[in-house]
Amino acid sequence: MAIFNLSHSALSLDQLFKPSSPALVGTDIGSSSVKMVELVKLGKGQFRLLRYAIEPLPQAALVDGDIANLDMVITALRQCHKKLGSNIKNLALALPIANIITKTVIIPSTDSQNELDAEVERAAHEYIPFSIDEVNLDYQVLGSAQNHTDDIEIFIAATRRDHVDDLVAVVEGAGLKPIIIEIDQHVNRIAYELIEAALPNHGRNLNIAIAHIGASAMTVQFFRDGQLLNSLDNPIGGSHLSGLISKTYGLSYTEAEQAKRKRKGLPENYINDVLQPFMDGVLNELERSISYLYSNTSTQNIDRIILTGGCASLEGLGQYIAEHTGISTAIGNPFRDMKSSKYIDTQKLLIDAPLLITACGLALRGFDA
Ligand SMILES: Nc1ncnc2c1ncn2[C@@H]1O[C@H](COP(=O)(O)OP(=O)(O)OP(=O)(O)O)[C@@H](O)[C@H]1O
Ligand SMILES: [Mg+2]
């Protein structure tokens, strides 16, 4: 199985990673904030959360997932690392979802790795709208194709090289070192393993949907026994709700963000006129993803929905989704079974946890070797 670590990267960032390297700070640059997580390994599969930090990013810093203003991102990275208070400068990072083109394709089954690579490259050529020389490509075998036992289903992920170059530039510009660059979807799978531990019977024999709802997008990933069944991206996120609040009530974007989180200073009609349509939008996209899964795979039921990303903390969203889908819904907390340093405010961590999942998954990558 190919690992989603951009191993086909011309930069070969992975090669810089040595088993003897010190721990890495998991760093997630999202469209609304930079998040850093530092873990310590206590024993096999046991970690302690040592530190974390969140630094807001101005709206103009990332546009459509692209780093649009390098200086803004450099400043936020520097600030975030300062807040973190760690002396570890080695970072594990993820490319934002918007920078990654994903496609599930069906190709003939083969035992030869070379043939598989060639088939994937041919399929990528067909589906990825850039020259193959301009992209970093990776893939994962999902399993046998439905109704075609001689074919296999492949999940392809590709990113333009200049996205990787920009990421390296901002990290180095902040005086930090990029050691690992992953794709977002894979990191969430690593962190999923932590969430899985909280499920009945460790999630065994259950079909799980993880809806990761950030500021600009929602990614829905379906898993069974740790295997990714499918991954779909939807263009809805918390920034849409903040934008709507700002427009409806004449608030600045920052004021709207604060009002949304604290549910303070908003008129009575907020719930019906603004929040409800947003929650409906999330529900519709989620149901569409589930229908897609049912029509395109043999999976015909979902046992549990887990919400992650900043919007998972939106009051009432989990309950709304559970009521309307009839599927048991929970909020994902990657730190649930982890001890944390005594300096961490546990109440605050409970609210921040779902949006730290990517940074947490990245921090875990430091212990892979
Ligand atoms: N406590 C909260 N209540 C409601 N919404 C919240 C809360 N905390 C964060 N959010 C919202 O979650 C979003 C940020 O989530 P997250 O940090 O996962 O996104 P991101 O990584 O910055 O964005 P993306 O991954 O889409 O580029 C913002 O829209 C923010 O307003
Ligand atoms: Mg994000």
Q: What is the pLDDT of residues 254-274, one digit of tens each?
A: 999 999 998 888 999 999 999
* Token pair belonging to 349: 């961590």
Structural domains counted in the chain: 2
Same structural domain for residues 104 and 253? no
Q: Which residues contact 221 (CB under 8 A, 6 or more apart)?
A: 185, 188, 189, 192, 209, 210, 212, 228, 230, 231, 232
Same structural domain for residues 228 and 106? no
Give pTM, 2 decimals: 0.85
Same structural domain for residues 17 and 146? yes
Same structural domain for residues 314 and 353? no
* Token pair belonging to 246: 């700002």
Q: Is residue 322 part of a domain?
A: yes
Pocket test for ligand 1, best of 32, 210, 262, 331 (most atoms within 8 A of CB): 32
Cross-strand partners of 233 = 219
Q: Is residue 1 part of a domain?
A: no
Q: How many residues are listed for the chain in this entry?
A: 369
Same structural domain for residues 256 and 293? yes
Q: Is residue 345 part of a domain?
A: yes
CB of 333 sitting under 6 A from ligand 1: no
Query: Average pLDDT, whole number, for the chain?
Result: 87
Same structural domain for residues 211 and 297? yes
Same structural domain for residues 40 and 66? yes
Q: How far apart are CA 365 and CA 112, in angstroms?
A: 28
Q: Is residue 5 part of a domain?
A: no
Same structural domain for residues 87 and 118? yes
Q: Residue 13 pLDDT > 50, yes or no? A: no
Give the residue numbers spanning the domain of 21: 13-197+337-365
Same structural domain for residues 85 and 126? yes
Task: State how far Cα 312 lies from the chain centre.
Answer: 13
Same structural domain for residues 161 and 238? no
Ligand 2 geometric centre to CA of 118 (Å)? 32
Question: Pick the residue with more confidence: 54 or 45?
Answer: 54
Residue 184 near residue 96, CB atoms below 8 Å:
yes
Q: Is residue 6 part of a domain?
A: no
The tens digit of pLDDT for each residue in 308-354 reads 999 999 999 999 999 999 999 999 999 988 999 999 999 999 999 99
CB of 366 sitting under 6 A from ligand 1: no
Same structural domain for residues 96 and 187? yes
Q: What CATH number is attached to the domain comprising 60? A: 3.30.420.40
Q: Is residue 258 part of a domain?
A: yes
Q: Is residue 211 part of a domain?
A: yes
Q: Is residue 4 part of a domain?
A: no
CB of 260 sitting under 6 A from ligand 1: yes
Same structural domain for residues 172 and 35? yes
> Can you give the pLDDT at residue 11?
33
CB of 355 sitting under 6 A from ligand 1: yes
